[in-house]
Protein backbone atom coordinates (compact mmCIF):
# COMPACT_ATOMS: atom_id res chain seq x y z
CA UNK A 1 0.00 0.00 0.00
CA UNK A 2 2.76 2.33 0.92
CA UNK A 3 4.55 1.27 -2.13
CA UNK A 4 1.61 2.35 -4.26
CA UNK A 5 1.33 5.66 -2.45
CA UNK A 6 5.00 6.20 -2.90
CA UNK A 7 4.68 5.35 -6.55
CA UNK A 8 1.77 7.75 -6.95
CA UNK A 9 3.69 10.42 -5.10
CA UNK A 10 6.69 9.90 -7.30
CA UNK A 11 4.52 10.02 -10.40
CA UNK A 12 2.79 13.18 -9.23
CA UNK A 13 6.11 14.70 -8.34
CA UNK A 14 7.44 13.82 -11.78
CA UNK A 15 4.38 15.30 -13.38
CA UNK A 16 4.77 18.47 -11.34
CA UNK A 17 8.42 18.71 -12.22
CA UNK A 18 7.65 18.17 -15.91
CA UNK A 19 4.84 20.71 -15.82
CA UNK A 20 7.02 23.22 -14.02
CA UNK A 21 9.79 22.73 -16.59
CA UNK A 22 7.31 23.11 -19.40
CA UNK A 23 5.83 26.22 -17.80
CA UNK A 24 9.30 27.61 -17.24
CA UNK A 25 10.19 26.98 -20.88
CA UNK A 26 6.93 28.59 -21.96
CA UNK A 27 7.61 31.59 -19.78
CA UNK A 28 11.15 31.84 -21.09
CA UNK A 29 9.88 31.53 -24.65
CA UNK A 30 7.25 34.17 -24.02
CA UNK A 31 9.84 36.49 -22.52
CA UNK A 32 12.11 35.78 -25.43
CA UNK A 33 9.26 36.49 -27.85
CA UNK A 34 8.53 39.78 -26.11
CA UNK A 35 12.19 40.61 -26.34
CA UNK A 36 12.19 39.76 -30.02
CA UNK A 37 9.06 41.82 -30.55
CA UNK A 38 10.71 44.76 -28.84
CA UNK A 39 13.77 44.29 -31.01
CA UNK A 40 11.59 44.04 -34.10
CA UNK A 41 9.75 47.20 -33.11
CA UNK A 42 13.03 49.00 -32.60
CA UNK A 43 14.28 47.67 -35.98
CA UNK A 44 10.99 48.71 -37.56
CA UNK A 45 11.36 52.20 -36.14
CA UNK A 46 14.93 52.33 -37.41
CA UNK A 47 13.82 51.10 -40.83
CA UNK A 48 10.99 53.63 -40.85
CA UNK A 49 13.46 56.38 -40.05
CA UNK A 50 15.75 55.11 -42.79
CA UNK A 51 12.82 54.92 -45.19
CA UNK A 52 11.91 58.50 -44.34
CA UNK A 53 15.50 59.54 -44.88
CA UNK A 54 15.57 57.63 -48.17
CA UNK A 55 12.26 59.16 -49.21
CA UNK A 56 13.53 62.62 -48.39
CA UNK A 57 16.73 61.88 -50.29
CA UNK A 58 14.77 60.49 -53.23
CA UNK A 59 12.56 63.58 -53.21
CA UNK A 60 15.62 65.76 -53.36
CA UNK A 61 17.10 63.57 -56.10
CA UNK A 62 13.82 63.67 -58.06
CA UNK A 63 13.69 67.43 -57.68
CA UNK A 64 17.28 67.67 -58.85
CA UNK A 65 16.53 65.33 -61.76
CA UNK A 66 13.45 67.37 -62.70
CA UNK A 67 15.48 70.56 -62.67
CA UNK A 68 18.21 68.85 -64.69
CA UNK A 69 15.66 67.50 -67.17
CA UNK A 70 14.08 70.94 -67.47
CA UNK A 71 17.48 72.46 -68.12
CA UNK A 72 18.27 69.70 -70.64
CA UNK A 73 14.90 70.25 -72.34
CA UNK A 74 15.58 73.98 -72.57
CA UNK A 75 19.07 73.29 -73.90
CA UNK A 76 17.65 70.76 -76.37
CA UNK A 77 15.05 73.27 -77.55
CA UNK A 78 17.75 75.89 -77.92
CA UNK A 79 19.97 73.43 -79.79
CA UNK A 80 17.07 72.38 -82.04
CA UNK A 81 16.25 76.00 -82.75
CA UNK A 82 19.86 76.80 -83.50
CA UNK A 83 20.17 73.67 -85.62
CA UNK A 84 16.99 74.54 -87.52
CA UNK A 85 18.19 78.09 -88.06
CA UNK A 86 21.63 76.86 -89.16
CA UNK A 87 20.11 74.22 -91.42
CA UNK A 88 17.79 76.80 -92.93
CA UNK A 89 20.72 79.09 -93.67
CA UNK A 90 22.73 76.17 -95.08
CA UNK A 91 19.69 75.00 -97.11
CA UNK A 92 19.15 78.47 -98.55
CA UNK A 93 22.85 78.77 -99.34
CA UNK A 94 22.95 75.28 -100.91
CA UNK A 95 19.73 76.02 -102.78
CA UNK A 96 21.19 79.22 -104.20
CA UNK A 97 24.40 77.37 -105.13
CA UNK A 98 22.40 74.56 -106.75
CA UNK A 99 20.28 77.08 -108.67
CA UNK A 100 23.43 78.77 -109.94
CA UNK A 101 24.93 75.39 -110.85
CA UNK A 102 21.70 74.36 -112.58
CA UNK A 103 21.61 77.62 -114.50
CA UNK A 104 25.20 77.12 -115.66
CA UNK A 105 24.47 73.49 -116.53
CA UNK A 106 21.29 74.53 -118.33
CA UNK A 107 23.20 77.12 -120.35
CA UNK A 108 25.84 74.52 -121.22
CA UNK A 109 23.17 71.97 -122.17
CA UNK A 110 21.29 74.58 -124.21
CA UNK A 111 24.50 75.49 -126.00
CA UNK A 112 25.31 71.83 -126.67
CA UNK A 113 21.76 71.13 -127.84
CA UNK A 114 21.81 74.21 -130.04
CA UNK A 115 25.16 73.22 -131.52
CA UNK A 116 23.98 69.62 -131.98
CA UNK A 117 20.71 70.66 -133.64
CA UNK A 118 22.49 73.17 -135.86
CA UNK A 119 24.88 70.41 -136.94
CA UNK A 120 21.99 67.99 -137.46
CA UNK A 121 20.03 70.65 -139.35
CA UNK A 122 23.00 71.31 -141.63
CA UNK A 123 23.51 67.58 -142.14
CA UNK A 124 19.80 67.05 -142.85
CA UNK A 125 19.75 70.02 -145.24
CA UNK A 126 22.76 68.54 -147.02
CA UNK A 127 21.14 65.11 -147.17
CA UNK A 128 17.85 66.66 -148.35
CA UNK A 129 19.74 68.54 -151.06
CA UNK A 130 21.49 65.33 -152.12
CA UNK A 131 18.18 63.44 -152.06
CA UNK A 132 16.52 66.21 -154.06
CA UNK A 133 19.33 66.09 -156.59
CA UNK A 134 19.05 62.31 -156.77
CA UNK A 135 15.27 62.53 -157.02
CA UNK A 136 15.51 65.20 -159.69
CA UNK A 137 18.01 63.06 -161.57
CA UNK A 138 15.91 59.94 -161.01
CA UNK A 139 12.70 61.75 -161.96
CA UNK A 140 14.36 63.22 -165.02
CA UNK A 141 15.74 59.82 -165.94
CA UNK A 142 12.35 58.23 -165.26
CA UNK A 143 10.61 60.91 -167.33
CA UNK A 144 13.14 60.45 -170.12
CA UNK A 145 12.69 56.68 -169.93
CA UNK A 146 8.91 57.09 -169.87
CA UNK A 147 9.03 59.46 -172.83
CA UNK A 148 11.43 57.16 -174.68
CA UNK A 149 9.24 54.15 -173.87
CA UNK A 150 6.15 56.06 -174.98
CA UNK A 151 7.93 57.07 -178.17
CA UNK A 152 8.98 53.47 -178.76
CA UNK A 153 5.44 52.25 -178.11
CA UNK A 154 4.08 54.97 -180.38
CA UNK A 155 6.63 54.12 -183.05
CA UNK A 156 5.78 50.44 -182.68
CA UNK A 157 2.09 51.28 -182.91
CA UNK A 158 2.72 53.48 -185.94
CA UNK A 159 4.87 50.72 -187.40
CA UNK A 160 2.08 48.21 -186.81
CA UNK A 161 -0.41 50.62 -188.34
CA UNK A 162 1.92 51.16 -191.29
CA UNK A 163 2.46 47.42 -191.58
CA UNK A 164 -1.26 46.84 -191.43
CA UNK A 165 -1.80 49.60 -193.98
CA UNK A 166 0.98 48.24 -196.17
CA UNK A 167 -0.39 44.76 -195.70
CA UNK A 168 -3.83 45.95 -196.74
CA UNK A 169 -2.37 47.77 -199.73
CA UNK A 170 -0.29 44.72 -200.59
CA UNK A 171 -3.36 42.54 -200.14
CA UNK A 172 -5.35 44.78 -202.46
CA UNK A 173 -2.50 44.90 -204.97
CA UNK A 174 -1.96 41.13 -204.69
CA UNK A 175 -5.69 40.48 -205.10
CA UNK A 176 -5.89 42.75 -208.15
CA UNK A 177 -2.88 41.05 -209.72
CA UNK A 178 -4.34 37.64 -208.93
CA UNK A 179 -7.62 38.70 -210.53
CA UNK A 180 -5.71 39.85 -213.59
CA UNK A 181 -3.84 36.52 -213.57
CA UNK A 182 -7.10 34.56 -213.43
CA UNK A 183 -8.45 36.65 -216.29
CA UNK A 184 -5.43 35.70 -218.47
CA UNK A 185 -5.80 32.07 -217.44
CA UNK A 186 -9.44 32.14 -218.50
CA UNK A 187 -8.38 33.63 -221.84
CA UNK A 188 -5.73 30.89 -222.05
CA UNK A 189 -2.94 33.46 -222.54
CA UNK A 190 -0.46 31.74 -220.21
CA UNK A 191 2.51 33.97 -221.11
CA UNK A 192 0.65 36.98 -219.72
CA UNK A 193 -0.56 34.83 -216.82
CA UNK A 194 3.09 33.98 -216.03
CA UNK A 195 3.93 37.69 -216.13
CA UNK A 196 1.09 38.38 -213.66
CA UNK A 197 2.34 35.53 -211.45
CA UNK A 198 5.83 37.10 -211.49
CA UNK A 199 4.30 40.41 -210.36
CA UNK A 200 2.45 38.50 -207.60
CA UNK A 201 5.85 37.18 -206.45
CA UNK A 202 7.24 40.73 -206.37
CA UNK A 203 4.22 41.93 -204.40
CA UNK A 204 4.56 39.05 -201.89
CA UNK A 205 8.02 40.35 -200.93
CA UNK A 206 6.40 43.63 -199.82
CA UNK A 207 3.91 41.80 -197.61
CA UNK A 208 6.65 39.93 -195.72
CA UNK A 209 4.17 37.13 -195.14
CA UNK A 210 4.58 33.46 -196.01
CA UNK A 211 1.01 33.05 -197.22
CA UNK A 212 1.44 35.51 -200.10
CA UNK A 213 4.83 34.01 -201.00
CA UNK A 214 3.47 30.46 -200.95
CA UNK A 215 0.50 31.46 -203.11
CA UNK A 216 2.73 33.24 -205.63
CA UNK A 217 5.15 30.30 -205.89
CA UNK A 218 2.26 27.86 -206.25
CA UNK A 219 0.72 29.96 -209.05
CA UNK A 220 4.10 30.24 -210.81
CA UNK A 221 4.68 26.50 -210.68
CA UNK A 222 1.19 25.78 -212.02
CA UNK A 223 1.59 28.33 -214.83
CA UNK A 224 4.94 26.83 -215.90
CA UNK A 225 3.39 23.35 -215.87
CA UNK A 226 0.50 24.64 -217.97
CA UNK A 227 2.89 26.31 -220.43
CA UNK A 228 4.89 23.08 -220.69
CA UNK A 229 1.75 21.07 -221.44
CA UNK A 230 0.18 23.56 -223.85
CA UNK A 231 2.89 24.19 -226.41
CA UNK A 232 0.51 26.03 -228.66
CA UNK A 233 0.52 28.97 -226.22
CA UNK A 234 2.72 31.93 -226.92
CA UNK A 235 6.04 31.46 -225.09
CA UNK A 236 6.94 34.01 -222.38
CA UNK A 237 9.21 36.88 -223.25
CA UNK A 238 12.89 36.53 -222.42
CA UNK A 239 12.70 39.68 -220.31
CA UNK A 240 9.84 38.14 -218.30
CA UNK A 241 11.85 34.95 -217.81
CA UNK A 242 14.92 36.96 -216.73
CA UNK A 243 12.80 39.01 -214.32
CA UNK A 244 11.30 35.80 -212.92
CA UNK A 245 14.80 34.36 -212.40
CA UNK A 246 15.86 37.52 -210.56
CA UNK A 247 12.77 37.40 -208.32
CA UNK A 248 13.33 33.72 -207.55
CA UNK A 249 16.79 34.56 -206.22
CA UNK A 250 15.13 36.80 -203.61
CA UNK A 251 13.09 33.95 -202.16
CA UNK A 252 14.27 32.89 -198.64
CA UNK A 253 16.40 29.76 -198.31
CA UNK A 254 13.65 27.78 -196.52
CA UNK A 255 11.68 27.87 -199.79
CA UNK A 256 14.68 26.62 -201.76
CA UNK A 257 13.09 23.26 -202.68
CA UNK A 258 10.09 24.92 -204.34
CA UNK A 259 12.35 27.50 -206.03
CA UNK A 260 14.67 24.80 -207.40
CA UNK A 261 11.68 22.91 -208.74
CA UNK A 262 10.37 26.06 -210.48
CA UNK A 263 13.82 26.83 -211.90
CA UNK A 264 14.17 23.29 -213.23
CA UNK A 265 10.73 23.40 -214.85
CA UNK A 266 11.47 26.85 -216.26
CA UNK A 267 14.76 25.58 -217.74
CA UNK A 268 12.99 22.62 -219.36
CA UNK A 269 10.34 24.99 -220.70
CA UNK A 270 12.96 27.26 -222.27
CA UNK A 271 14.87 24.27 -223.63
CA UNK A 272 11.68 22.88 -225.17
CA UNK A 273 10.85 26.22 -226.74
CA UNK A 274 14.34 26.44 -228.27
CA UNK A 275 14.05 22.89 -229.61
CA UNK A 276 10.69 23.62 -231.21
Q: How far is CA 142 from the centre of its chain?
A: 29
The vertex-195 CA angle with 256 and 172, nearest 5°, equals 85
Quick one: angle between helices 256-275 and 210-229, nearest 10?
20
Neighbours of 216 (CB within 10 A): 26
**Cα distance between residue 152 and residue 141, in whole Å:** 16
**Cα distance between residue 274 and residue 266, in whole Å:** 12
The vertex-103 CA angle with 98 and 104, nearest 5°, equals 100
Q: What pLDDT is attached to residue 134?
A: 77
**Cα distance between residue 41 and residue 223, in whole Å:** 183
**Cα distance between residue 216 and residue 143, in whole Å:** 48
For residue 191, give the nearest of 217, 223, 219 by alpha carbon.
223
Neighbours of 184 (CB within 10 A): 18
SS3 string, the chain, reads CHHHHHHHHHHHHHHHHHHHHHHHHHHHHHHHHHHHHHHHHHHHHHHHHHHHHHHHHHHHHHHHHHHHHHHHHHHHHHHHHHHHHHHHHHHHHHHHHHHHHHHHHHHHHHHHHHHHHHHHHHHHHHHHHHHHHHHHHHHHHHHHHHHHHHHHHHHHHHHHHHHHHHHHHHHHHHHHHHHHHHHHHHCCCHHHHHHHHHHHHHHHHHHCCHHHHHHHHHHHHHHHHHHHHCCCCCCCCHHHHHHHHHHHHCCCHHHHHHHHHHHHHHHHHHHHHHHC
Structural contact between residues 233 and 227, judged by C-beta atoms closer than 8 angstroms: yes
Structural contact between residues 167 and 209, judged by C-beta atoms closer than 8 angstroms: yes
Averaged over successive runs of 10 residues, the pLDDT of the chain (276 residues) comes to 70 76 73 80 83 82 84 85 76 70 69 74 79 70 72 68 68 87 86 85 80 85 80 65 81 84 79 58
Domain ranges in the chain are 165-275
Amino acid sequence: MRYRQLLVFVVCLGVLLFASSVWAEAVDEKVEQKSRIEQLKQQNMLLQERIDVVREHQGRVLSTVQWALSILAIVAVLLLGYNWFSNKKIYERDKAAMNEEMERHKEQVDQRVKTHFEGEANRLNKEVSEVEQRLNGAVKQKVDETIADSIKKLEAKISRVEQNSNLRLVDVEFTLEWTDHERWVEKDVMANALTSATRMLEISFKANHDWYLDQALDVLEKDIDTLAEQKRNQPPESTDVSNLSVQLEKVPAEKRIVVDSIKEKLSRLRAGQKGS
